[in-house]
Amino acid sequence: DINPDGEIKKAHWHIGLFFSGKKSYGQILEITSKLNCPHPQVMKNAKGQIRYFAHLDNPEKYQYKPGEIVAHGGADIRKYLTATGGDKIKLLAEMQDWIDETGCTEFHELARYARNERFDDWYDIIVNQSTVFLNAYIRSKRHGGSN
């Protein structure tokens, strides 16, 4: 990370703690005091906070790969990192451009590329959200639609 004045920030970690039940501020403070960190804050929006860990919604900050976020204790943070709304539309447009630029004619080519090269953003959309659209787009190109 870099400060607004261009100076490199001191190395630091962001930590999110999730519990199956309610915890008091005192209970959380007992944990965080052992970590030599600032006073804990309530995480009001888990999705926004987890996305902040990688600076996904802050393009002016260094962009960490979501895959670099380490989760412990069975925490599944992938649900907080999925693209929605405008982000998803932009990523689908990128995929269409990639299909056009590479001459992709088979869905498996796109899926393989996304898994190997764009796992943190494209792959989830392909697997869980837009398979029908992308497959139809590729098929239509294969059968004569070059535009």
Q: Show pLDDT as tens, one digit a residue, over the chain (147 residues).
A: 777 777 888 877 788 888 888 888 889 888 888 888 888 888 888 888 888 888 877 777 788 887 788 888 888 877 777 777 778 888 999 999 999 999 998 999 999 999 999 887 888 888 887 888 898 989 888 777 555
pLDDT confidence of residue 145: 58
pLDDT confidence of residue 147: 54
Which DSSP state fits 61? S
Residue 108 contacts residue 114 (beta carbons within 8 Å): no
Strands (DSSP E) found in the chain:
none
pLDDT confidence of residue 119: 86
pLDDT confidence of residue 108: 92
Whose CA is closest to 100, among 138, 144, 143? 138
Tokens 């002016």 map to which residue? Answer: 60
Tokens 């030599």 map to which residue? Answer: 36
pLDDT confidence of residue 56: 78
pLDDT confidence of residue 35: 82
